[in-house]
Amino acid sequence: MATVETASRRPTPRRQTVKRRPAREPSQSGASLVAPIRELAWIGQHAQAIEESTRTLASRADRAGLPGAVQMDLLDLRAESNIALGQLDHAAQDAAAMVQLATRHKSPASKVQALNRKALIQMRQGELKAAIDSAVAAAKIARQSRRKPLLATSLLSLGEVQVRAGQYEVALKIAQQAVELFEAAGESSSAGRAHWVSAMACQRLGRNKQSRAAAQSALELCTQAADRYGIGNALVLLSQSDPDIAASVRHLRQATQALEAAGYVERRMVAVGNLATKYDELVQSRHLRTRWPMGPRRT
């Protein structure tokens, strides 16, 4: 019978106690931090977007911190939501923080983002000369960077500021350049908003046919992108060139609903004010038709 050899037993080594490091929290990318807040703003939940932006900026500041680009996006989103709610002082504070951050990081993209935000807030505060200066500076940096997305965004901001400042011819050219860049990039929402700026400029210049065509393009593109802010603005502009009061009232009702869903208080009030004016015109028109079915008598 064969003998089976067995291996000699070795002494079992003692287990060493290893101090474990506390588990780190799973890191989140900048996109994953910004995207939910951007979505809240997109669906009109601006108060919640402001709260979440503030919480994220504060909670991360004491730990590893946030990349500069992420901080810029959070400040930018919070500023836009403050604009939507009519809180321009708070929005201006966010824009100032963006400018300081961009100065520290010396990034062309950050400088453009900060200056564009600053320009749009200055525009709403009635500081039109300062707004033009900020928007022109942003566009200059964007051109020098040779980055088309930066340039397109800057031209959109500059075009709107120029319309508000009465520089209609220049605004029209700038807006049309923005349209071309956004459409080439397949950015429906931004292209629609650029068409809206073009439509405003044409309207101020008395080119009503061209204005209506641009406003219709704005409506179609913003509808395609589910951009309710853009939809509302396009409808307000269309209402001003409608052939009859009833069509204008219908467009303004739709604009009011879109801007309310988008959460933009000031823009909704513009639609509501225009709607009240149209209702008054409609009542007067019906009163005249009832009193003089064949038209008012001429003397």
pLDDT in the model for residue 11:
46
How far, in Å, are 188, 228, 240 from residue 288 at the CA level?
44, 37, 22
Highest mean pLDDT among 10-14, 25-29, 97-101, 295-299: 97-101
Q: Is the pTM of this model over 0.75?
A: yes
* More confident of the two residues 265 and 3: 265
Mean pLDDT of the region 130-147: 98
C-alpha 12/C-alpha 49 separation (Å) is 60
pLDDT in the model for residue 28:
54
pLDDT band of residue 296 (cuts 50, 70, 90) is very low
Residue 78 inside a domain? The answer is no
Give the residue carrying structure tokens 């349209």. 179
In sequence order, which residues have a C-beta less than 8 Å from that of residue 206 and are 6 or more positions away? none
- pLDDT per position as a tens digit, 109-125: 999 999 999 999 999 99
C-alpha 217/C-alpha 201 separation (Å) is 15
Output the six-digit token pair for 91.
Answer: 């929005």
The overall average pLDDT reported for the chain is 87
pLDDT in the model for residue 61:
56
Give the residue carrying structure tokens 């069509």. 247
Helix H, strand E, coil C: the string for 223-236 is HHCCCHHHHHHHHH
* More confident of the two residues 155 and 287: 155
- At position 197, the amino acid (one-letter code) is V
Residue 212 inside a domain? The answer is yes
Q: Is the dihedral of CA 152, 160, 259, 47 positive or negative?
A: positive
CA atoms within 13 A on the CB side of 229: 20
Residue 236 inside a domain? The answer is no
The answer to whether residues 81 and 49 touch, using CB atoms and an 8 Å cutoff, is yes
- pLDDT per position as a tens digit, 22-41: 333 334 557 789 999 999 99
How many Cβ atoms from other residues are within 10 Å of residue 155's Cβ? 28
pLDDT in the model for residue 85:
97
Residue 76 inside a domain? The answer is no
127: which DSSP letter?
Answer: -
C-alpha 134/C-alpha 156 separation (Å) is 13
Q: For the ranges 23-32, 180-189, 191-200, which has the lowest average pLDDT? A: 23-32
How far, in Å, are 84, 183, 213, 224 from residue 192 at the CA level?
19, 9, 12, 9
281-298 as b/e: b if 16+ CB within 10 A: eeeeeeeeeeeeeeeeee
pLDDT in the model for residue 73:
97
Mean pLDDT of the region 229-248: 94
Using DSSP, how many helices (H) and how many strands (E) does the chain show? 13, 0
Output the six-digit token pair for 35.
Answer: 């995207």
Query: What CATH number does residue 157 fall under?
Result: 1.25.40.10
Mean pLDDT of the region 3-27: 40
Output the six-digit token pair for 65.
Answer: 């911190």
Residue 37 inside a domain? The answer is no
Give the residue carrying structure tokens 């108060």. 47
Residue 231 inside a domain? The answer is no
Outline where DSSP puts E strands in the chain.
none
Domain assignment of residue 209, given as a range: 131-226
pLDDT band of residue 179 (cuts 50, 70, 90) is very high
Residue 220 inside a domain? The answer is yes
Q: Is the dihedral of CA 195, 118, 49, 71 positive or negative?
A: positive
How many structural domains is the chain composed of? 1
DSSP track, 170-209: HHHHHHHHHHHHHHHHT-HHHHHHHHHHHHHHHHHTT-HH
Residue 19 inside a domain? The answer is no
C-alpha 146/C-alpha 8 separation (Å) is 75
Mean pLDDT of the region 174-179: 98
